[in-house]
Amino acid sequence: MLLGLGIVLGFASIGFLCWLLFLCAVYAAPLFVVAMACTMLYNHAMMSGAHVILTGIAAGIMVLASGQAILAFSRDPALRVAVSMLLALPAALAGFGTTLGFCGMGDMSAIPAYLFATFGALCVGGAAWTRLCAIQPA
């Protein structure tokens, strides 16, 4: 009874995490910028922790706002594809890492794990790119 419940809850939790990953994949680029800005400012600047966090959040907001503005107001297809690809690339990297982590939980060997991780990166990056391309210009 408890073993069956554990298996069902395990599949449900992995399904929930995958759904959450697909839902939040569009915001991977601003979060990546926040993390990198905070890391670089903390390591190389004489700033306190609160200032570093606020500056990183401001940088992420600027990336998100500028990307959304370009996609919303530009009619040039090449620019829209380039911006969509730049915003979807961190989502693909997040999908690769997440799928590789899920494969590591199942004690899978290296080659199939990297093949599944590549497939996961294509799926998550493709989902983010599709959601970004769905933004219609005004």
Contacts of 43 (CB under 8 A, 6+ apart): none
- In this prediction, residue 135 has a pLDDT band, given cuts at 50, 70 and 90, of confident
Rounded to the nearest angstrom, the gap between the alpha carbon of residue 16 and the centroid of all alpha carbons in its chain is 16
Token pair for 131: 């959601």
pLDDT greater than 90 at residue 58: yes
- In this prediction, residue 5 has a pLDDT band, given cuts at 50, 70 and 90, of confident
Taking only the tens place, the pLDDT of each residue in 27-39 is 888 888 999 998 8
Tell me the pTM: 0.77
14-23, 57-66, 79-88, 91-100 — which is least confidently predicted?
14-23
Half-sphere exposure of 45 (CA within 13 A, CB side): 15
